[in-house]
């Protein structure tokens, strides 16, 4: 997952500053569940971008809105959980984490945006005009895109994570204080219930709220998520709650009602459900493969939108909004990304390590 290149399995609890709340290393079971859930959870953004008609198709609504929309908020939550579970508030720890994120976030962000710039320049202009050199400078993805909306669209998440890491000491200061710490869940409640869609739907609001909530759980409720991965009763309750929320939203959608707070609540309930599912997967036969897929998970996240955008420029039938095309685009994109990853692992491993932030 884009949050960190390695897990915190077996990490020893760090000492807290005087008067503060100690940072807790994640339990081995929880740390392993996070590793296992990264690749399956990353299929969510792929489904969101592959499904072009979620408002007109029940299947695409389920794939994109009910399942896919959970992924990015869940990643912000997990990123906050991982960050604060081993952060002790010292300058040395802060600088070490920033250095780690330069390698795992900033370098991949810049490299993938550069790739996206050239790839989309080709897709937009070369196909239409046939003269790449003359048309290249007409591509409207220059400095503005890298500064605000990345050329490689989904990378707004990585950029957001880097800025959250820079500002994390302020959140840590608040989370260590008993009263201020509750602003984190309060911010999530505000996001869910807010009647102002223009505010609630801003990714900056989602990012800050979910990253802070992850820190809240890391510092205040470190055992709750671990129970989701080890306790069948807790896991069943989380999954049933999410399925009930999904059923309500599907019923509302079928009635022509899209109630945004209900969809946001569905996202929040989807996060513990994913932890519960990850705990089950970690005990299954596919677990070893999923544990080894950390590098590919990052590669898929960074490449899928470029593959889809490029393919739709070349093959106009991919613009079709049918359910079959949605599934075809998702499968094709996954296959192409996997093939490129395996090819680079054979012929350009140093470049691949840079592209995936040294994840293995």
List the chain pLDDT tens, one digit each, 360 residues: 444 433 333 333 333 333 344 445 788 999 999 999 999 999 999 999 999 889 889 999 999 999 999 999 999 999 999 999 999 999 999 999 999 999 999 999 989 988 887 777 666 554 444 454 444 444 444 444 444 567 788 888 998 999 999 999 999 999 999 899 999 999 999 899 887 776 777 888 899 999 999 999 999 887 889 999 999 999 999 999 999 999 999 999 999 988 899 999 999 999 999 999 999 999 988 999 999 999 999 999 999 998 988 777 777 666 778 999 899 999 999 999 999 999 999 999 999 999 999 988
Residue 268 belongs to some domain of the structure: yes
pTM of the full structure: 0.87
Range of 283's domain?
A: 28-355
Burial of 138 by CB count in 10 Å (0-12 exposed, 13-18 middle, 19+ buried)?
A: exposed
Q: Tell me how long the chain is.
A: 360
Number of structural domains (the chain) is 1
In a domain, 85, yes or no: yes
Q: Tell me if 360 is assigned to some domain.
A: no
pLDDT of residue 278: 95
Cβ(266)–Cβ(331) under 8 Å? no
Query: Do 210 and 82 meet the contact criterion of CB atoms below 8 Å apart?
Result: no
In a domain, 9, yes or no: no
Residue 22 included in any domain: no
Does residue 2 lie within any of the structural domains?
A: no
Residue 342 lies in a domain: yes
Long-range contacts of 260-267 (CB under 8 A, 24+ apart): 260/197, 260/200, 260/201, 261/192, 261/193, 261/194, 263/65, 263/69, 264/191, 264/192, 264/200, 265/192, 266/66, 266/69, 266/70, 266/242, 267/69, 267/70, 267/73, 267/74
Within a domain: residue 166? yes
């Amino acid at each position: 997952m884009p949050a960190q290149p390695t897990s915190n399995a077996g990490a020893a609890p760090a000492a807290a500053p005087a008067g503060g709340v100690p940072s807790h290393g994640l339990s081995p079971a929880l740390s392993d569940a996070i590793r296992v859930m990264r690749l399956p959870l990353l299929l969510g953004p792929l489904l969101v971008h592959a499904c072009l008609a979620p408002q007109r198709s029940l299947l695409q609504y389920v794939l994109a809105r009910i399942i896919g929309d959970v992924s990015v908020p869940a990643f912000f939550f997990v990123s906050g959980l991982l960050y604060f579970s081993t952060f002790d508030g010292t300058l040395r720890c802060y600088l070490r984490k920033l250095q780690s994120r330069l390698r795992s976030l900033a370098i991949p962000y810049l490299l993938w945006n550069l790739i996206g710039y050239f790839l989309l320049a080709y897709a937009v202009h070369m196909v239409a005009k046939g003269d790449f050199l003359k048309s290249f400078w007409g591509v409207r993805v220059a400095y503005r895109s890298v500064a605000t909306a990345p050329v490689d669209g989904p990378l707004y998440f990585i950029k957001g994570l880097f800025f959250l890491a820079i500002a994390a000491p302020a959140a840590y200061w608040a989370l260590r204080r008993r009263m201020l710490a509750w602003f984190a869940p309060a911010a999530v409640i505000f996001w869910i219930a807010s009647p102002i869609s223009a505010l609630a739907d801003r990714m900056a609001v989602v990012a800050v709220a979910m990253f802070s909530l992850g820190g809240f759980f890391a510092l205040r409720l470190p055992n709750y998520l671990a129970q989701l991965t080890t306790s069948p009763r807790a896991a069943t309750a989380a999954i049933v709650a999410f399925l009930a929320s999904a059923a309500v939203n599907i019923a509302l959608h079928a009635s022509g009602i899209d109630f945004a707070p209900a969809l946001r609540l569905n996202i929040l309930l989807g996060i513990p459900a994913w932890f519960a599912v990850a705990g089950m997967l970690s005990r299954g036969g596919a677990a070893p493969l999923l544990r080894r897929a950390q590098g590919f998970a990052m590669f898929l996240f960074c490449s899928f939108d470029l593959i889809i955008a490029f393919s739709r420029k070349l093959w106009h039938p991919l613009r079709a909004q049918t359910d079959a095309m949605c599934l075809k685009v998702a499968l094709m994109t996954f296959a192409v990304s996997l093939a490129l990853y395996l090819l680079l692992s054979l012929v350009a491993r140093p470049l691949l390590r840079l592209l995936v932030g040294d994840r293995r």
